[in-house]
């Protein structure tokens, strides 16, 4: 184990992530575990639960991280292959001091990393992760003890108690060879659903599962129509993000799913706050407000998002990335640690549709579509991406005198016929862009203006993404 600090290029805003073995190897994993252990010990925490995803590099990194934690004097509950939300539930339900998950979520297979949780399953903030990264390894006088833990079984029992036997509908699912293969089929079957699954064995995959990537959902769309499923559901590799298809195999943007899942809450609790990120479509915001909800914006990133929900005691929220988060009022009578959980979101959606006797397509049809881009990820050096985002905001504000600009997360500029959002990615050397307009002509104008603004920044590539046609409502994949 190195005596130096962790390399700065693997320390991100809400996790530690890099390529294996160039940036992350077993020595780094041991050092991360030891740093987390020392950080927990300083807050007088004594226990941690550790899980991992199905990547080829994860078992070795998992064992090394556990050794680092034990060396710091922390008792470890080792849960093995587990969805990230299950580890969060275990931290909260067992009253543990924290959690560590070996995963790189939807990053390519050559990546791996570590998601970190504090007590009550709260994600660490950037300054806390930086503190751990700067902690030099140290051996405790008393070595921690290791205990094996089955975290999935009690989690599934909690879901069964919440949703029970509610439906006999056909559902097609794609866990993407990730860890939700351990929980999603069982959870949906316990609701009475007839489950048709593809890629339902956890294994190292050639392509990391991303439920927001249309090309990865085409096979699932075919299954949906072949078995007459009412719904298609996909998850990322560690289970905290979700994507959905209707009975026609059509894909919807994740913020539209947030709008639909907010409806049962708003029916019970008019005026409830719903947390959204700044890339959320105006169509979704309008739908929430029309139903009496208060749409509140947050900085992008699940750690910031979950902290905001907890601090404001909010009940529900969703990011455009597919992180759907639940608080206590969404689940009456239950304690909730504000966890983003793709399987819980799937159960909640199926329960709502079954109760209403409606299809997802019928629910989505109540949202008025506008032309909107996907999240565009333009390569840009880490040391320049924040500055470029700010300058794009300035460029538009100078040319649209009646514009409004919000700089709480990059730059979100609202103009007469639409809006755009530019920000530095928290996880990669990427400039993130999304924009929306009132009609297709206005969409093309904003795209052309973005081309002009970006032409001043030679460090940004991939601007041809601006020329792709907009998304307008559901996307047919068949």
- Distance set, CA 425 to CA 263, 299, 344, 350, 450 (Å): 30, 11, 27, 32, 18
Catalytic site residue from 58, 64, 105, 152? 105
Q: What is the distance between the alpha carbons of residues 94 and 117, in angstroms, rounded to a whole number?
A: 14
CB 158 within 8 A of CB 49: no
Would you call 310 exposed, middle or buried from its count of C-beta atoms within 10 A (0-12, 13-18, 19+)? middle
**Please, what sign has the CA dihedral across residues 408, 411, 416, 419?**
negative
Tell how far CA 45 is from the center of its chain.
27
Annotation marks residue 400 as catalytic = no
- Render the burial of 321-339: b for 16+ CB within 10 Å, e for the rest: bbbbbbbebbbeeeebbbb
For residue 104, give the nearest of 52, 182, 31 by alpha carbon: 52
CB 363 within 8 A of CB 441: no
> Any bridge partners for residue 294, and if so which?
273
For residue 344, give the nearest of 439, 419, 257 by alpha carbon: 257
Annotation marks residue 42 as catalytic = no
Annotation marks residue 247 as catalytic = no
Structure tokens at 4: 């130096």
Q: What is the distance between the alpha carbons of residues 101 and 268, in angstroms, rounded to a whole number?
A: 35
Q: What is the distance between the alpha carbons of residues 469 and 443, in angstroms, rounded to a whole number?
A: 9
Structure tokens at 156: 């599934």
Q: What is the distance between the alpha carbons of residues 360 and 349, in angstroms, rounded to a whole number?
A: 9
Helix axes 26-42, 126-133, angle to 10 degrees: 120
Catalytic site residue from 307, 323, 412, 421? 323
Catalytic site residue from 12, 17, 241, 250? 17
Q: What is the distance between the alpha carbons of residues 237 and 259, in angstroms, rounded to a whole number?
A: 24
Catalytic annotation, residues: 17, 105, 323
């Amino acid at each position: 184990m190195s005596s130096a600090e962790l390399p700065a290029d693997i320390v991100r805003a809400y996790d530690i992530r890099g390529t294996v073995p160039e940036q992350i190897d077993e020595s780094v994993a041991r050092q991360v575990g030891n740093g987390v252990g020392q950080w927990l010990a300083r807050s007088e925490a004594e226990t941690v639960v550790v899980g991992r995803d199905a990547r080829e590099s994860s078992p070795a990194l998992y064992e090394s991280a556990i050794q680092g934690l034990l060396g710091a004097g922390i008792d470890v509950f080792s849960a093995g292959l587990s969805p990230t939300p299950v580890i969060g539930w275990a931290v909260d339900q067992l009253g543990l001091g924290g959690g560590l998950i070996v995963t790189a979520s939807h990053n390519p297979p050559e990546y791996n990393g570590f998601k970190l949780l504090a007590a009550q399953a709260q994600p660490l903030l950037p300054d806390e992760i930086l503190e751990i990264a700067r902690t030099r390894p140290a051996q405790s006088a008393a070595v921690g003890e290791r205990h094996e833990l089955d975290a999935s079984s009690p989690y599934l029992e909690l879901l069964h108690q919440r949703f029970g036997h509610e439906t006999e509908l056909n559902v097609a699912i794609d866990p993407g060879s990730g860890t939700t293969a351990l929980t999603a089929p069982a959870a949906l079957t316990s609701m009475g659903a007839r489950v048709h699954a593809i890629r339902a064995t956890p294994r190292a995959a050639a392509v990391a599962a991303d439920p927001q990537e249309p090309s990865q959902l085409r096979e699932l769309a075919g299954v949906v129509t072949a078995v007459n499923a009412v719904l298609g559901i996909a998850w990322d590799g560690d289970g905290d993000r979700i994507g959905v298809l209707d009975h026609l195999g059509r894909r919807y943007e994740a913020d539209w799913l947030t709008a639909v899942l907010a409806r049962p809450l708003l029916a019970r609790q008019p005026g409830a706050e719903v947390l959204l990120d700044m890339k959320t479509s105006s169509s979704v915001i309008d739908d929430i407000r029309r139903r009496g909800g208060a749409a509140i914006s947050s900085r992008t990133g699940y750690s910031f998002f979950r902290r905001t929900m907890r601090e404001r005691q909010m009940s529900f929220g969703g990011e455009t990335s597919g992180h759907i988060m639940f608080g206590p009022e969404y689940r009456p009578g239950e304690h909730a640690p504000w966890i983003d959980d793709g399987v819980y979101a799937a159960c909640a959606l199926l329960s709502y549709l079954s109760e209403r006797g409606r299809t997802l397509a019928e629910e989505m049809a109540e949202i008025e579509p506008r032309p909107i881009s996907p999240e565009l990820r333009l390569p840009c050096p880490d040391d320049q991406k924040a500055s470029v985002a700010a300058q794009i905001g300035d460029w538009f504000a100078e040319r649209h005198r009646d514009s409004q600009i919000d700089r709480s997360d990059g730059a979100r500029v609202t103009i007469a016929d639409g809006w755009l959002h530019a920000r530095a990615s928290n996880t990669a050397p990427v400039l993130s862009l999304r924009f929306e307009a009132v009609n297709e002509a206005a969409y093309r104008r904003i795209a052309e203006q973005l081309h002009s603004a970006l032409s001043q920044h030679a460090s940004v590539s991939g601007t041809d993404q601006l020329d792709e046609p907009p998304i307008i409502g559901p996307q047919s994949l068949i």
